[in-house]
């Protein structure tokens, strides 16, 4: 389902443009983030890539948000309509935890943000890393596209949909279910076998 009907959530715009980073683009972005000369900016990019958080949620993180022993980052959901505080615990790789607890992030006060940046500046920096990764410009080449890429990667890795919903902070499971729309490796392999059979029958 690649069309975006009015009032529905889709991985494509009304014009049919893809909103997410595909697997190859996501891998290149992660590689570019790891190679970024500024470790703090690389860590910001990796945090968004590995947690699927919104850029505003990443900028709200403090040293206390990083639970290195338990292996997760505690993200405060900022898009909840109720006034109840919602914090979701998202498991992340050890290399990110090591980076977030490195000397570059040590602050005098635990309440200080990891990245004292404005949202617009952080958005520009993430876009810069995408450019370094050779990702073409478009609606997919944004922090939101990176968030969608995380959702797709999680679903394709076999993570149950309800866990993906929790990690992304979606209020409704129907929103998370959009990641079932995109064609995965298994589907491509099935299609390849179908076309191989068709090719043989034509000889």
Structure confidence at residue 3 (pLDDT): 41
Helical segments of 101-160, H only: 119-132, 143-156
Which is nearest to 65 in space by CA: 88, 48, 43, 81? 88
Mean pLDDT check: name the lowest of 38-42, 111-115, 130-134, 187-191: 187-191
Mean pLDDT check: name the lowest of 1-10, 63-72, 152-161, 165-174: 1-10
Interaxial angle between packed helices 143-156 and 161-168, expressed in degrees from 0 to 180 and rounded to the nearest 10: 160
Mean pLDDT score of the chain: 87
Kindly list the distances between the CA atom of residue 98 and the CA atoms of 63, 127, 138, 177, in Å, as whole numbers in the listed order. 12, 24, 32, 32
Structure confidence at residue 108 (pLDDT): 52
Which is nearest to 86 in space by CA: 171, 178, 172, 174? 171
Structure confidence at residue 4 (pLDDT): 42
Task: Kindly report, residue by residue over 73-111, the tens digit of the pLDDT.
Answer: 999 987 655 567 889 999 999 999 999 988 656 655 556
H/E stretch holding 173 reads helix 173-176
Radius of gyration of the chain from Cα atoms? 19
Token pair 């149950």 is found at 160
pLDDT-based confidence at residue 199 (cuts at 50, 70, 90): low
Residue 151 main-chain phi, psi, to 5 deg: -60, -45
Structure confidence at residue 109 (pLDDT): 52
Structure confidence at residue 111 (pLDDT): 65
Token pair 């390849």 is found at 192
| Domains identified in the chain and CATH numbers | 23-202 (1.10.443.10)
pLDDT-based confidence at residue 196 (cuts at 50, 70, 90): confident
Region 104-123: mean pLDDT is 80
Kindly tell me the number of DSSP H helices and DSSP E strands found in the chain: 9, 3
Most confidently modeled range among 15-19, 71-75, 176-180, 183-187: 71-75
Distance from chain centroid for Cα 85: 22
Region 164-192: mean pLDDT is 83
Region 100-124: mean pLDDT is 81
Burial class (CB in 10 A: 0-12, 13-18, 19+), 197: exposed
Structure confidence at residue 85 (pLDDT): 82
Contact 134, 7 (CB under 8 A): no
């Amino acid at each position: 389902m690649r069309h975006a009907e009015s009032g529905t959530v889709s991985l494509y715009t009304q014009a049919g443009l893809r909103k997410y980073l595909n697997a190859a683009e996501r891998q290149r972005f992660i590689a570019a983030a790891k190679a970024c000369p500024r470790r703090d900016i690389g860590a910001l990019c990796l945090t968004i890539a590995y947690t699927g958080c919104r850029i505003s949620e990443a900028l709200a993180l403090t040293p206390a948000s990083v639970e290195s022993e338990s292996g997760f980052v505690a993200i405060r959901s900022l898009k909840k309509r109720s006034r109840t505080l919602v914090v979701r615990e998202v498991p992340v790789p050890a290399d990110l935890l090591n980076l977030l607890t490195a000397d570059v992030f040590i602050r005098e006060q635990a309440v200080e943000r990891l990245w004292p940046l404005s949202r617009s500046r952080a958005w520009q920096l993430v876009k810069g890393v995408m450019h370094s990764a050779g990702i073409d410009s478009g609606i997919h080449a944004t922090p939101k596209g990176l968030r969608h890429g995380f959702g797709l990667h999680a679903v394709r890795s076999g993570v149950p949909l309800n866990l993906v919903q929790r990690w992304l902070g979606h209020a409704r499971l129907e929103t998370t279910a959009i990641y079932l729309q995109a064609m995965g490796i298994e589907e491509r392999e099935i299609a390849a076998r179908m076309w191989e059979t068709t090719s043989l029958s034509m000889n």
